[in-house]
Amino acid sequence: MTDPVTYGAPDELLVQLTHKDVFLNFFKDKQAIINRLRSDNALFLNNYGNLCVQENGRLIPIVVFSQAFKTALAEWASKGYSLVSAEIQFIVAWKGKDDDKETLIVLPSVKLKR
């Protein structure tokens, strides 16, 4: 059985970011902050396009998008979507090929709406 109906684009998208969507080396000097964070913590977009946590009334950048994800965001924006919210989905350990130790990184989910 086939469905002949053509459906329009959704009004809302939820995107789970991966290692390829974030700038991994940015996390290296953020370990003390990341250790205080938990899954489901809200993240806020600053004027530079980075995701931030709020501490003591200040926004502290914690996630920088990769160039590939910035391109994807621009494509969604051209279709009328904008980022409306974000939260920490996962905090995982990552080790670069030239690193001696693991680094905690934040993998957020972002919500886009038309």
Structural domains of the chain, count: 1
- 3-state SS class at 84: strand
Residues 6+ apart with CB under 8 A from 39: 88, 89, 90, 91
Residue pair 96/105 in contact by the 8 Å Cβ criterion: no
In a domain, 42, yes or no: yes
Does residue 7 fall inside a structural domain?
no
Exposed e or buried b per residue across 78-88, where buried means at least 16 C-beta atoms within 10 angstroms of its C-beta? eeebebeebeb
Residue 4 forms part of a structural domain: no
The answer to whether residue 2 sits within a structural domain is no
Is 83 inside a domain boundary? Answer: yes
Q: Tell me the residue range of the domain where 77 lies.
A: 12-113
Asked whether residue 6 is domain-assigned, the answer is no
Task: Return the sign of the alpha-carbon dihedral for residues 74, 43, 17, 68.
Answer: positive
Task: Flag whether 3 is in a domain.
Answer: no
N- to C-terminal Cα distance for the chain?
32
Amino acid at 70: K
CATH number of the domain residue 57 falls in: 3.30.70
Over residues 88-111, the pLDDT tens digits come to 999 999 999 999 999 999 999 999
For 98, the token pair is 């030239």
Query: Using one digit for the tens of pLDDT, what is the confidence trace for 47-84?
Result: 999 999 999 999 999 999 999 999 999 999 999 999 99
Assigned domain for 20 exists: yes
pLDDT band at residue 33 using 50, 70 and 90 as cut-offs: very high
